[in-house]
Amino acid sequence: MLLRNRALSNGIDDESFVQAVSQVGGQLCNLFLPMEAFPIPAKAGAMWIEAFKFLLPSEIAAADGVERSAGVLSIPEAISWGEAPPPNSLAAWLGNTMQQNAAAELYQLEAAVKGCKDSRLLEDWRKLTASDHFRYMSTLPIADSPYDSPYDAYINFMNVLDNLRGRL
């Protein structure tokens, strides 16, 4: 399991970020964020690219000399990167009844979709498991939803899910 470095994955700004990553000291440091989140100017970006090596998880696993385990980690309940109260909770994805109902309805179809051996149905079902669908249904404030309301997101999701159910 690769764990996200929370301090470095949040609040990135050019000079302080380069300095903070430099202090990691050659150890593996996992950042989980979209590339557009890097507001690094071209000059700082060139320095940053030269100073650090980017690897895919598969490359890390295959690398020689990489310690395979830093120890045992106990996580007794689900956690997330979410900042919404309470921090690290699943509230942004499963915090209200619309989200919980949509998730339950989606996962009730899992066995049937996987059992029917229709690759298009399976692909569509997997697309519906994307976390953004559930985040758009959140009643917590989110800035980037394409919907006018969480209810609109829920209705759209359930209509698509109903279509999938009918095709199944």
Summarised one tens digit per residue, pLDDT across range 96-131 is: 999 999 999 999 999 999 999 899 999 999 999 998
CA triplet 91, 96, 99: central angle to 5 degrees? 90
Say yes or no to pLDDT of 22 above 90.
no
- What residue ranges do the domains of the chain occupy? 6-62, 91-167
Rounded to whole angstroms, the Cα distance separating 106 from 161 reads 7
Tell me, what's the pLDDT at 20? 72
Range with the poorest average pLDDT among 84-88, 150-154, 158-162:
84-88
The per-residue pLDDT for 57 is 72
More confident residue, 12 or 64: 64
Looking at residue 146, its pLDDT comes to 92
CA distance 46 to 19: 14
DSSP string covering 47-73, please? HHHHH-----HHHHHH-TT--S-S---
Residue 40 has pLDDT above 60, yes or no: no
Model confidence at 1: pLDDT above 80: no
pLDDT at 13: 59
- Measured distance CA(156)–CA(135) in Å, rounded: 13
Res. 167: pLDDT tops 70: yes
pLDDT digits (tens, 9 = 90+) for 54-95: 677 777 777 766 566 667 778 777 777 666 666 677 888 898
Whether the pLDDT of residue 43 is over 60: the answer is: no
pTM of the full structure: 0.63
Count of residues making up the chain: 168
pLDDT, mean over the chain: 78
CA dist., res. 168 & res. 160, Å (int):
12
Amino acid of residue 118: D
